[in-house]
Amino acid sequence: MSLTEINFDGIVGPSHNYAGLSLGNIASASHAGDPSYPRAAALQGMAKMRGNLARLGVQGFLLPLPRPNQALTSALALDDSAPPQLRAAPWSASSMWTANAATVSPAPDTADGRCHLTPANLVTMLHRAQEWPDTKRQLDIAFGDTRHFAIHDAVPPSFGDEGAANHMRLCESHDAAGVEVFVYGKTGGAFPARQHEQASRLVARAHGLDPARTVFIEQNPEAIAAGAFHNDVVAVANGPVLFTHAEAFADQAGAYAALRAVFPALEVVEVPSGAVTLQEAIRTYLFNAQLLTLPDGSMALIVPEECRESPSVWAWAQAMLASNNGLGGPIRQVIPVDVKQSMANGGGPACLRLRVVCDPATVDPRFLLDEAKADVIEGIIAAHWPRQIDPSDIGTDDLASSVIAARGALLDALNLAQLG
Ligand code: SUG
């Protein structure tokens, strides 16, 4: 059995909109009330998937969830007198950010030798807390082979769990046992700390991780206060490499020491605050990057376009590349992608994907992409996704019927009507 890392990107749903629902997410707050462009958003996501399919030879996807969510609409007793943010919650397309779909522990790390997935309860934000039961329905199908996968229920409330966005895996190869790193926040700051330590510890126990190879690290409260509502806004790991801002963790040196103690091969690529401020890192999402191992063994960093537009970030990237290509450092390419529609809600390239290390042959093939399937999906997006949604469209019957029909067309085309 050959284990490989598959990125499962969330297809951007037809109700994608900007309602300013995420306190502590600066992009979401600053774009509240803007018109959104669901068709363009979904096609941007598809272009990113196509690029990675070409680079890696494998790419997966998860589907938009049913919206508007009638059960939530009823539970909230929504009528015209309810505040607009409450009325928008059942319409959220936030499941596109599949880094928050689940926490994944690959088979070599777990006691029973299966890949374990726990859907994230996302309880801190109402519009996200509705996701997990429908996400789990997809995971149960995509990873339904119980010889290879174990799917758990979400962590019970009130422990907040945000999934893979606060989880990293260090390893020398995917087939070898890795070190799993859980990053949690402490409450008490201006913005919510969405990942709770006890949720992380619960997931680690449920997945049967070896305590000697599991590390729990506190996120820097100043990073949360500056808008890093998930750790993956300020750090990302791949293989033995930790790519991180110098202010990501509460005790930066202590974090590196704790990781080195269990994973001596650790290679830290740290961006100092003098080169890129915390604020600029959060604005450009330099660290919300996909750090990919290419077939030749080198690494590429897939970053948002916003990074190229930032003088300090781009200067750092160019200097890093010049040095790495001369001295043999791990990251050899920095590749910008346009995911601006997602970025305006605080979701960069890494938010849009869930990494699952497994044998692709054990995954339900309906969730795996190839060029022909990408053509079909793009055709449906172009034909059915709304071109534009204005805030006044949210809650209308017209938008509800077009969003429901658009998702239905996609499910039919992918032979996944059972998710309807
Ligand atoms: O949970 N934005 C998402 C962005 C998630 C990004 N994911 C990772 N960093 N992994 C969030 O804050 C905005 C929704 C709105 O405002 O309508 C939103 O939910």
What is the DSSP secondary-structure string of 80-138?
A: TTS-HHHHHGGG--GGG-GGGTEEEE-GGGBTTSSEEEEE---TTSHHHHTSHHHHHHH
Ligand 1 pocket by Cβ (under 6 Å): 18-22, 25, 28, 92, 94, 97, 99-100, 125, 128, 165, 229-230, 232-233, 345-347, 351
Q: Calculate the alpha carbon distances from 50 to 337, 368, 369, 371 in Å.
A: 11, 12, 9, 7
Domain range for residue 369? 4-419
Order the strands of the 115-119 sheet from edge to edge: 102-105, 115-119, 149-151
Residue 94 Cα to ligand 1 middle (Å): 6
Q: What single-letter amino acid sits at 246? A: A
**Interval between CA 23 and ligand 1 midpoint (Å):** 10
Which one of 345, 389, 390, 393 would you pick to mutate in the ligand 1 pocket, going by the greatest count of ligand atoms within 8 A of its CB?
Answer: 345
Pairwise CA distance, residues 347 & 26, whole Å: 11
CATH code (residue 27): 3.75.10.20
Model pLDDT, residue 13: 99
Q: Are 60 and 363 in contact (CB under 8 A)?
A: yes
Catalytic residues: 162, 230, 351
Ligand 1 atom with minimal separation from the 94 CA: 19
Please give the distance of CA 387 from its chain centroid, rounded to a whole number. 24
Total structural domains within the chain: 1
Q: Count other Cβ atoms within 10 Å, centred on residue 29.
A: 15
Q: For the sheet containing 179-184, what is the strand order? A: 167-170, 179-184, 214-218
Residue 273 CA, ligand 1 centroid: distance in Å: 25
Q: How far apart are CA 51 and CA 10, in angstroms?
A: 15
In whole angstroms, give the CA distance from residue 355 to residue 178.
Answer: 14
Q: Return d(Cα 367, Cα 29) in angstroms, integer.
A: 32
Helices 38-56 and 371-384, packing angle to 10 deg:
180
Q: What is the pLDDT along the chain (420 residues), one digit of tens a residue?
A: 689 999 999 999 999 999 999 999 999 999 999 999 999 999 999 999 999 999 999 999 999 999 999 999 999 999 999 999 999 999 999 999 999 999 999 999 999 999 999 999 999 999 999 999 999 999 999 999 999 999 999 999 999 999 999 999 999 999 999 999 999 999 999 999 999 999 999 999 999 999 999 999 999 999 999 999 999 999 999 999 999 999 999 999 999 999 999 999 999 999 999 999 999 999 999 999 999 999 999 999 999 999 999 999 999 999 999 998 777 789 999 999 999 999 999 999 999 999 999 999 999 999 999 999 999 999 999 999 999 999 999 999 999 999 999 999 999 999 999 999
* Ligand 1 atom closest to 162 (CA): 10
Q: Whose CA is nearest to atom 5 of ligand 1?
A: 347
Alpha carbon distance 275, 167 (integer Å): 26
Distance CA 317, CA 148 (A): 39
pLDDT at 135 (0 to 100): 98
> Sign of torsion, CA 70 73 77 79?
negative
Give the strand pairing for 267-271 and 241-245: parallel
**Of 69, 100, 126, which is best to mutate to test ligand 1, by the most ligand atoms within 8 angstroms of its C-beta?**
100
Give me ligand 1 centre to Cα 18, in Å.
10
pLDDT at 328: 78
User: Looking at residue 1, what is its pLDDT?
Assistant: 63
User: Which secondary-structure segment (H or E) carries 396?
Assistant: none
Helix (H) and strand (E) counts in the chain: 15, 15
- Report d(CA 405, CA 86) in Å as an integer: 24
- Beta-carbon neighbour count of residue 277 at 10 Å? 17
